Structure 1
């Protein structure tokens, strides 16, 4: 049995990035990845999330039937998480959910740096629904489209780091959360550029699986 990171979008390269980050975080656990090929190429806002949810749920159902030990929804919007968790035969967590709770368990006040402004209402709504709004200073958009994280990572990193540095300087936070699974390839360089901790949501979710194994 394995712990599976399910990418709700159809971009295979992003799945590979996610799996590499998860395996590096918990090398002792069997981590695999799965791409929802019927999903949109990227999830940017509520409309994309709604389109991605039905095929995602079909993937999660199949993984449960195949004996997955745990599933992580590898989209920071926690796409389809509530329904997937209700119907799955194994534990299902979201990478956004894991990142927010990681910060809260440390009593850290956090800001999130995500991709485009269209994603802000979804992320803010999730934080409120998890009961963690009191820990969140601000959700910030870097202006980086999701697929640019794969096609032009250096330019993406520059804009993400600039926004994260503004969060660190202006928001009165203890840490910054990277608000996209595709940012995992940039995490180490972002950490080198900031003085506060940087939470990678893929790492946070992978480490949650230690309590299930």
Structure 2
């Protein structure tokens, strides 16, 4: 059975990097396919990028489902969990965002975690999600590395900057786990974990494992609210 990993932005090269980074994953009953939303912004940095990308992601999932293309589940490969809720309305199978997956994994490995994202304008989006997921008491802080999303590709010199700001954030906030706050940072997970000496969580692989587990257990997205009152779906509000 196939798990579909969707990059909500419009970068084919980043999607290829994500695919290459998952080549070593061991999945008992699943294979992986990687897609991206060609008409989306090339990077998702801020609310406006997220709104545009969420539209294209939901549209992609909707048309895919209508065409009868089966998938065991979807992974949304943007740490903002862009369009996850909208996608869940269109499908029965699990839909998991890498942001929530990474933070849930981190909460199992230490009493506090630090999120390191790209630019400052992504911080309030992630902080809002943390509140929604009920993880505020486990998160020691969300920090911006000031490395733009597209600068993560093919620029190894940025690793030293990422290492420095991550070490400072963990030390200053007494963080026990580092969460990579962008799918494009996945390439640095193993090296950062070695250099920092703490667990470092890659949301892409975390979300893939969660979708695989949900699929193996026969668990799907709940449709209780979607189907409870179908006759009222198009009624106008009083």
Q: TM-score range by the shorter chain?
A: over 0.9
**Other-structure match for 1:124:** 127
Shift of 1:89: 3.0
Q: Which of the numbers 155, 159, 162 marks the counterpart of 2:161? A: 159
TM-fit CA distance, 1:111: 0.4
Report what 1:26 is aligned to: 26
Residue 152 of structure 2 corresponds to residue 149 of structure 1: yes
Local SS of the residue matching 1:208: helix
Aligned CA distance change for structure 1 residues 63 and 106 (closer, same or farther; 3 Å): farther
Find the partner of 2:185 among 172, 183, 194: 183
Corresponding residue of 1:207 = 209
Q: TM-score normalised to the size of structure 2?
A: 0.84
Mind listing any 5+ residue stretches in structure 1 that lack a counterpart? none
CA-to-partner distance for each residue in 1:179-204, whole Å, 9 max, x for gaps?
10011112122122101111111111
Does the alignment pair 1:110 with 2:113?
yes
- The question of 1:171 aligning with 2:146 is answered no
Task: Give the number of aligned pairs.
Answer: 212
| Preserved contact between residue 3 and residue 212 of structure 2 (Cα < 8 Å) | no
In structure 2, the partner of 1:198 is: 200
Q: Distance in 1 between matches of 2:23 and 2:96?
A: 17
Distance in 2 (alpha carbons) for counterparts of 1:81 and 1:4: 13
- Per the alignment, residue 62 of structure 1 pairs with 63
When Rg is computed on C-alpha atoms for both structures, the one with the higher figure is: 2
Query: Structure 1 residue runs of 4+, over 6 Å off?
Result: none
Contact 2:5 2:74 (C-alpha < 8 Å) held by counterparts: yes
* Counterpart for residue 227 of structure 2: none
Aligned-pair Cα RMSD in Å: 1.4
- The runs of 5 or more residues in structure 2 that have no matched partner are 217-238
Partner of 2:8: 8
1:38 equivalent in structure 2: 39
SS in 1 for 2:53: helix
The 10-residue stretch of structure 1 (98-107 or 123-132) with the greater mean CA deviation from structure 2: 98-107
Cα pair 1:56 1:80 within 8 Å, conserved: yes
